[in-house]
Amino acid sequence: MNNVTMKDIAEMAGVSKATVSMVMNKKDASISEVTRKKILKIAKEMSYIPNSIARSLSTKKSGTIGIILPDITNPFFSEMVRAIEDKAERLEYNLIICNTDNDIEKEQKYIELLISKLIDGIIFMSGGKSNESITILKNNNVPFVLVDRYIEGYKDDYGVFCLNKQGVIDGVQYLYEKGNRKIVFVKGREDIEISKQRLEGYIDAMKNYGIYDEKYIFEGDFNVEGGIIATKKIISCFQDLDAIFYSNDMMALGGMKILLRNDYKIPRDISIIGFDNIHISEIIEPELTTISQPIYMMGKKACSILIDVINGELLTEKQVYFKTELIIRGTT
């Protein structure tokens, strides 16, 4: 059986193919409501699916945006995608989601694929050294918005970020005011700008209180496994610690698992604080004290900026920065 075409619908409705095209492309202001409803009813009955490629060639828009993200298994990114999807649906845009596994080659492959699909724009959550990816987007005049993760020279590009450094400063201040002095910090991946910002926040705050010691900084990678590995090293190095500040919630979850297995009572023996406020942080027991990023608001804002840019609007503000919030729960 051949696919249903606009010509088939036009014949059944007794109208021209051009009239059907106008209705399907929502350019039907000049067409009567009766005719419009008749065409849509026939199209639905015949399970007509518009050819989006043909339509995008004629309208120069596909009604689709892409999302490039580094790790869909990290709830931070899946929660961000949910917010973008909600906003995109309200603005009648579809999504294509591409997970790069922090692999730059995979990232570039997906960008080229999205461009070949005539994507209208991309929301970009970098896996690290993504300058080449940005060059590909710019050379092909594809609108994009950076989210969460910075890229070198990003101040010339649209972006939605949070105040990472200040968030960590607030967390250290809270721990200090509760009497904690031996505060270990598990940092994120070195090639990611937000890791550097959060580490800077820790160093500045600890120096401000006169308790900074480089030996309290441990390697991490923003994954549960990174938290597990770092925490095993931490408890083998130090017998008496007051607190561990993990650079994201995923590492904090991994760290708590190791601490509990080694008979640490949280927070009696050691306080734990994370960063992001992913949904699971309030489900675990004890619930995780964390620095909250407004993930949902950031996702919605990124989507609305991108669609404004796609529609040719010149925005005066290129970067939007959201404040973080200390959420105090059961681990401190």
Q: Do 182 and 257 reside in the same domain of the chain?
A: yes
Q: Is residue 129 part of a domain?
A: yes
User: Number of folded domains in the chain?
Assistant: 3
The identity of residue 224, as a single letter, is V
Q: Do 247 and 309 reside in the same domain of the chain?
A: no
pLDDT at 168: 98
pLDDT in tens, the chain (332 residues): 457 788 888 888 899 988 888 888 777 788 899 998 998 898 888 787 666 555 555 556 778 999 999 999 999 999 999 999 999 999 989 999 999 998 889 999 999 999 888 899 999 997 666 678 888 898 889 999 999 987 766 678 899 999 999 999 999 999 999 999 999 999 998 888 899 999 999 999 999 999 999 999 999 999 999 999 999 999 999 989 999 999 999 999 999 999 999 999 999 999 999 999 999 999 999 999 999 999 999 999 999 999 999 999 888 888 999 999 999 999 99
Q: Do 145 and 194 reside in the same domain of the chain?
A: no
pLDDT at 1: 42
Q: Do 169 and 264 reside in the same domain of the chain?
A: yes
Q: Is residue 329 part of a domain?
A: no
Distance CA 171, CA 202 (A): 9
Distances (CA, A) of 212 to 95, 176, 184, 215, 217: 45, 12, 10, 9, 10
Taking each helix axis as running N to C, give the angle between helix 33-45 and helix 6-13, from 0 to 180 degrees, rounded to the nearest 10.
120
CA angle 132, 137, 138 (to 5 degrees): 95
Distance CA 167, CA 324 (A): 6
Distance CA 147, CA 167 (A): 17
Picking from 202, 194, 246, the residue whose alpha carbon sits closest to that of residue 224 is: 246
Q: Is residue 182 part of a domain?
A: yes
Q: Is residue 131 part of a domain?
A: yes
Q: Do 151 and 190 reside in the same domain of the chain?
A: no
pLDDT at 55: 57
Q: Is residue 328 part of a domain?
A: no
Q: Do 170 and 281 reside in the same domain of the chain?
A: yes
Distance CA 270, CA 89 (A): 44
Write the pLDDT tens digit of every residue in 33-50.
Answer: 999 899 889 888 878 766
Q: Do 301 and 289 reside in the same domain of the chain?
A: no
pLDDT at 106: 92
CATH number for the domain including 85? 3.40.50.2300
Write the pLDDT tens digit of every residue in 237-291.
Answer: 998 999 999 999 999 999 999 999 999 999 999 999 999 999 999 999 999 999 9
Q: Do 196 and 281 reside in the same domain of the chain?
A: yes
Q: Do 207 and 131 reside in the same domain of the chain?
A: no
Taking a C-beta distance cutoff of 8 angstroms, is the pair 247, 187 a contact? yes
Q: Do 180 and 257 reside in the same domain of the chain?
A: yes
- Please tell me the pTM assigned to this model: 0.82
Q: Order of strands, edge to edge, in the sheet holding 271-276?
A: 217-218, 183-186, 243-246, 271-276, 289-292, 325-327
Q: Is residue 16 part of a domain?
A: yes
Q: Do 45 and 74 reside in the same domain of the chain?
A: no
Its domain, for residue 208, covers: 164-294
Q: Do 303 and 158 reside in the same domain of the chain?
A: yes
